[in-house]
């Protein structure tokens, strides 16, 4: 609460009523990107004098395409889209994280006889290729020394997973929240494990076009300050935040509240996040999913957090 009051005072002192240049800002209707939704719907961006063109995109791929085309200049995306954009040479930089956490990647099973990851050898597992869920599966295979080829991987999207698990089409699904909470609420499966405490933290990052960072640092500061306020609001008012997330995502508020508990909701930049992105990039490079490892010193700009005292 003290931090929230401190940030509000900074807003009143620094921003006045000035309106910044209009930029495009994209985020997904997801629990992981809750800070962006709250900053948008609670007016934290507007309170900073920002005139952002807010776009709510169905998935991270669409945000990536918009960033690449310069249709938007700021975006909240997962670790895979972040790394893919940078590796493709798109002129963006990582400013920080707005949420995430390994615990939100959960392996759900329906068979009570499955009690260990190795029990899934030869079984059909639903996962979405090209997403953080698939990276999580690759990580688990390495950790438990189970070759990926020993699993019968079925490529399905998160909205299809509940039905696939309930009907027996697959024995397990690996997905990020809120899909696992929806599966539990429907009685279709239980958690076998999640990736909490692993080296991968699956951060949602705030990225921006390099040109904007170079020419308009004040707007960047305002956006980050608004997101920090939103994150503080979520932690202080989880029930109200769940209502906002439910409005944006279409989830039941109770599911949104439950799902929030599997995420870290801190805005900023720290070593665990940096290490997770580096490790994820190594996995993607080894699997030939990206052409090169990013030059992290060049593509990360965490200086704003020091400037803001956060």
Q: Sketch out the chain's domains with CATH numbers.
A: 2-101+201-308 (3.40.190.10), 103-194 (3.40.190.10)
Mapped onto helix, strand or coil, the DSSP state of residue 216 is coil
- Distance, in Å, from the CA atom of 267 to the CA atom of 310, rounded to the nearest integer, reads 9
The per-residue pLDDT for 4 is 42
Q: How confident is the model over 263-283, as pLDDT tens digits?
A: 999 999 999 999 999 999 999
The per-residue pLDDT for 310 is 77
For 164, the token pair is 């696939």
- Distance, in Å, from the CA atom of 71 to the CA atom of 310, rounded to the nearest integer, reads 29
The per-residue pLDDT for 309 is 84
The per-residue pLDDT for 239 is 97
Q: How confident is the model over 116-168, as pLDDT tens digits?
A: 999 999 999 999 999 999 999 999 999 999 999 999 999 999 999 999 999 99
For 163, the token pair is 């039905």
The per-residue pLDDT for 287 is 87
The per-residue pLDDT for 21 is 59
Q: Which helix (H) or strand (E) holds 260?
A: helix 253-260
The per-residue pLDDT for 9 is 33
How many helices and strands in the chain, by DSSP H and E? Answer: 15, 10
Q: What stretches in the chain show pLDDT beneath 70?
A: 1-21
The packing angle between helices 238-249 and 253-260, to 10°, is 120
Query: The pTM is what?
Result: 0.89
């Amino acid at each position: 609460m003290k931090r929230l009051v401190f940030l509000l005072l900074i807003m009143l002192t620094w921003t006045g009523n000035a309106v910044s240049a209009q930029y495009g800002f994209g985020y997904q209707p997801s629990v992981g990107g809750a800070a962006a939704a709250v900053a948008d719907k609670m007016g934290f961006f507007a309170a900073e004098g920002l005139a952002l063109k807010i776009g709510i995109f169905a998935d991270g791929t669409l945000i990536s395409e918009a960033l690449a085309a310069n249709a938007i200049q700021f975006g909240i995306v997962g670790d895979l889209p972040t790394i893919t954009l940078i590796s493709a040479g798109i002129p963006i930089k990582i400013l920080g994280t707005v949420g995430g956490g390994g615990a939100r990647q959960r392996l759900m099973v329906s068979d009570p006889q499955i009690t260990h990851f190795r029990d899934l050898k030869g079984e059909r597992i639903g996962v979405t290729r090209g997403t953080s869920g698939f990276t999580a599966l690759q990580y688990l295979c390495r950790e438990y020394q189970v070759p990926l080829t020993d699993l019968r991987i079925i490529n399905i999207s998160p909205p299809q997973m509940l039905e696939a698990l309930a009907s027996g089409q697959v024995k397990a699904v690996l997905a990020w929240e809120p899909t696992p909470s929806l599966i539990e609420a429907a009685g279709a499966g239980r958690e076998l494990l999640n990736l909490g405490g692993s080296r991968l933290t699956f951060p949602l990052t705030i990225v921006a076009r390099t040109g904007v960072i170079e020419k308009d640092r004040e707007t960047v500061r305002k956006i980050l300050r608004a997101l920090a306020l939103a994150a503080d609001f979520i932690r202080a008012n989880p029930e109200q935040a769940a209502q906002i997330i439910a409005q944006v995502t279409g989830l039941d508020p109770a599911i949104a509240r439950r799902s929030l508990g599997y995420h870290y909701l801190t805005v900023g930049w720290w070593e665990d996040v940096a290490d997770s992105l580096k490790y994820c990039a190594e996995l993607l490079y080894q699997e030939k999913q990206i052409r090169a490892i990013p030059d992290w010193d060049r593509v990360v700009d965490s200086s704003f957090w020091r400037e803001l005292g956060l």
